[in-house]
Amino acid sequence: MSAVSPAARVAELRAEIDRHDHAYYVLDAPTLPDAAYDALFRELQALEAAHPELQSPASPTQRVGGQALAQFVPVAHVVPMLSIQTETDTDASGALNFDARIRRELDLPADAPPVEYAAELKFDGLAISLRYERGILVRGATRGDGATGEDVTQNLRTIGQIPLRLRGHPPPVLEVRGEVYMRRDDLAQYNAEATARGDKTLVNPRNAAAGSVRQLDPAVAASRPLKFFAYGLGDVAGWEMPPTHAGVLDALAAFGLPVCEHRAVLAGGEALADFHRRIAALRPQLPFDIDGVVYKVNALALQRRLGFRSREPRWAVAHKYPPQEALTVVEAIDIQVGRTGALTPVARLSPVFVGGVTVTNATLHNADEIERKGGLCVGDTVIVRRAGDVIPEILGVVFEQRPATAQPFTMPLFCPVCGAPAVRESGEAVTRCSGGFSCRAQRIQAILHFAGRRMMDIEGLGERYVERLVEFDYVTGVADLYRLTLDDLLDMKRRADERDGVTPETVKAGQVATRWAENLLAGIAASKSPSLARLLFALGIRHVGESTAKTLADWLGSLERVRRAPAAMLAVLPDIGQTVAAAIAAFFAEEHNARAIDALLAEGVRPCDEHPPSARLAGCLTWEHLYAALGIPRLTPLRARQLAALVPGDRLAQEGVNAAWLSAQGLPAELIEALTTWLQQPGQRGSLAALAVQRQALLAALPVAEKGAETVASAVAGKVFVLTGTLPTLKRDAAKDRIEAAGGKVSSSVSKKTDYVVAGEEAGSKLDKARELGIPLLDENALLELLKGVAAT
Ligand code: IVH
């Protein structure tokens, strides 16, 4: 480096950094590790600092740096920034209309060949113009009224995708037109970080782009993840233009500008309509928002012939898509009570058609979310978004349209259903009804959860029946379901009809419909022997989803063992942290829950697959792990190991902390003190002793279990099954449960690793594949036989 002059080295570094910037920002294909790039950058900064005469605004070191402005300076556009005509027909006819108009205006006879078009996306951001002189970015401006915009050069320079110096051999003057935008994932990440800082979030990508470019302080713009696409030209001098628009875009890309890859040259209206359909399908997957596609006559000579009409070119059109955002009014805010008592505010909206459906309500999540959007009042006009199959959401409030009388929404102090105090624990976003199971709404939700398809799978027990059963007090807890009689159900129906003022046809005819009730009772009866994992999931323990329930079932093997396990014992199981372990232990410790479970057992509900605890437990139930799981202050995993080697938990519970001895063994004084204080807390010694007893009991159950399980289960354990077609009686979920309960695996595709294919009626290609690979086939009977072999021993 010392051999060359500073000026030459500076030029070399700039060219190299520009090259890496282009690869990184525009091509999205980094060519250099970050550290190596940083080294080049720092070398350039140092040289520029040492040789101020070498400074240049086009240097990659000069992206951010300007002072905040008092106001923007107006910029007159040499070539006005036009708007574009919109084709409002969102179906294919929009494209055909445009093609027909172009052919008419060009006076083309019916048999003339199709017109060639350049088709591209209509980006939903902010239009800007970039002026390059001799390849250097000298000015960037907004569109403004089309004739005069604002000088936002400082802000645009902070956008990594916008080159400060063009590559190749750019003309003396080149104005590039395009769109600044924000990707949806960048917006989400920015908002997450803003939330963490306690800052306001950005409403949507378009507002975010527009708002960021029009910041007086370039440091603010620099903090926003903006992107850019070039799609056209303004003032140009000294350039022999390519003959087509597509050629212009290719040239811009070659100058190092980002041009969107989703563009095409197409002949005729049908091809345009096709493009419109193809991009519509792509729209949900695009990382940024578009509100349509744009068609442009490709030949620049034809563009000149077509010319302009007032402020729109005749050679281009925007063909829109149905909007994914719309404005509507919040008519009311209701509170929904969830299974765990969570109070969720839900906005009732004036019906609005958006994203292809009519939206009438949207969740507001919780008080924090509402706060983040700057508050919300009934009567507010809000921006609603629904994209793809995503649940509609409220993006933000149009504050300018807030009625003067509007009252800000606040979370209620009491549960709207049962009247119990609503509480919000510190550090939690959710406000909860404190009524527990005495709250009717929580009861309904808990029973619905219990009956759900992935839980007890009670067929026919939907929302309507559960609501009525709870409302008329036929059911107060889940066990009551199993005591229902035909008379109860018919009674309930009669009372509900009476209340609703309906007289069913059958009643008019002097009959009573009983079939539905018989079916429901059959569904309830059929749910009495779930797998242990399903039963645990069905109980609705906070933080216990399907996979945690499965872990509990796999490792502990019986409901009794799960019920009795102290939190520390649960916390040593894989993927169960202290919070979840505490929630599980607290659930079973609560008297009400204990009674509910006893009642279920009394009704004959029994897990069908209880088994001895997993042999792997031995490795988890060491005092080293248990100590670490107890949440003793200052007890790091390393210290837990040390302590376990010195005193096992049962002795600690019996004898207490022998401070002098532990100190002599090398435990630090502050740890001994923390341990002493911890053990002196009321009930602590007792629970430690109880943990020791539970541990002993589990360990005692292990070795026998090991041998038993290994030998009997071998027919199914470790084997890979593929299910295909419909089995005569077993539902697919049930078959899967039972195979898994016996230690087998169920996979979705047939391969050489498959041990058995279980085929039912209308088995398709999987059956063919199995035959091809010579994999043993089982029907339902054979599967049950195999499973019976496991359970019987
Ligand atoms: S061309 C002479 N191409 O749509 C035609 N505009 O009213 C000038 N827009 O806000 C526009 N994507 O920023 C063109 N691929 C695209 C576009 C596009 C988005 C925006 C443009 C302006 C509006 C036109």
What is the number of the ligand 1 atom nearest to the C-alpha of 127? 13
CA distance 240 to 321: 36
For residue 578, the CA-to-ligand 1 centroid distance in Å is 55
> 122 CB less than 6 Å from ligand 1?
yes
CA distance 785 to 776: 15
Ligand 1 pocket test, candidate residues 82, 84, 128, 213, most atoms within 8 A of CB: 84
> 535 CB less than 6 Å from ligand 1?
no
CA distance 232 to 321: 22
String of DSSP letters for 251-315 = HHHHTT----S--EEEESHHHHHHHHHHHHHHGGGSSS-EEEEEEEESBHHHHHHH-EETTEETT
For residue 84, the CA-to-ligand 1 centroid distance in Å is 6
The amino acid occupying position 163 is P
Position 790 scores a pLDDT of 58
Position 789 scores a pLDDT of 62
For residue 309, the CA-to-ligand 1 centroid distance in Å is 16
What is the number of the ligand 1 atom nearest to the C-alpha of 179? 13
Q: Residue with the nearest Cα to atom 17 of ligand 1?
A: 122
Site of tokens 């190991």 = 641
String of DSSP letters for 429-444 = S-EEETTGGGSHHHHH
Query: pTM score, two decimals?
Result: 0.63
58: helix, coil or strand? coil
Site of tokens 């898994």 = 740
Residue positions annotated with a catalytic role: 122
Contact between 691 and 567 (Cβ < 8 Å):
no
Contact between 722 and 766 (Cβ < 8 Å):
yes
Q: Residue with the nearest Cα to atom 3 of ligand 1?
A: 231
Q: What is the mean pLDDT of each run of 10 residues along the chain (793 residues)?
A: 82 94 89 90 95 92 83 94 88 92 96 97 96 96 94 95 96 98 94 86 90 92 95 97 98 97 97 96 92 97 93 94 91 93 96 90 91 89 85 90 91 95 90 90 95 95 94 94 96 92 86 91 96 96 94 95 95 92 94 94 96 89 93 90 92 93 92 95 92 91 53 67 88 86 84 87 85 84 77 41
Nearest Cα residue to 331 out of 319, 308, 348: 348
For residue 122, the CA-to-ligand 1 centroid distance in Å is 6
Contact between 29 and 263 (Cβ < 8 Å):
no
Ligand 1 pocket test, candidate residues 87, 231, 252, 276, most atoms within 8 A of CB: 231
Handedness of CA 18, 21, 26, 30 (dihedral sign): positive
> 150 CB less than 6 Å from ligand 1?
no
Position 714 scores a pLDDT of 59
Ligand 1 pocket test, candidate residues 179, 227, 298, most atoms within 8 A of CB: 179
CA distance 741 to 554: 8
Inter-helix orientation angle 669-680/684-712, to 10° = 90
For residue 315, the CA-to-ligand 1 centroid distance in Å is 13
Site of tokens 């605890």 = 613
For residue 178, the CA-to-ligand 1 centroid distance in Å is 7
Give the contacts of 324 (CB within 8 A, at least 6 positions apart): 289, 354, 355, 385, 386, 387
β-pair partners for 433? 422
What six digits make up the tokens of 378? Answer: 């009934």
Contact between 431 and 424 (Cβ < 8 Å):
yes
β-pair partners for 432? 342, 423
Strands 74-76, 148-150: pairing kind: antiparallel
196: helix, coil or strand? helix
